Structure 1
Amino acid sequence: MLWAFAVIAGGVVLLLVVLALTHMGSTATPTGPTVETSTVVPAPPVTPSAPCFPFQTTC
Structure 2
Amino acid sequence: MKITHRQLVEKTTTTENAVAWLQELEVIPNGVECHSCNNYQMTLTFYKNTHRWKCNKCYS
TM-score, with structure 1 as normaliser: 0.22
Kindly indicate which of the two structures has a greater share of residues assigned to helix. Answer: 1
Work out which structure has the larger RCO, using CA pairs closer than 8 Å and 6 or more positions apart in sequence. 2
Which has the larger Rg?
Answer: 1
TM-score, with structure 2 as normaliser: 0.21
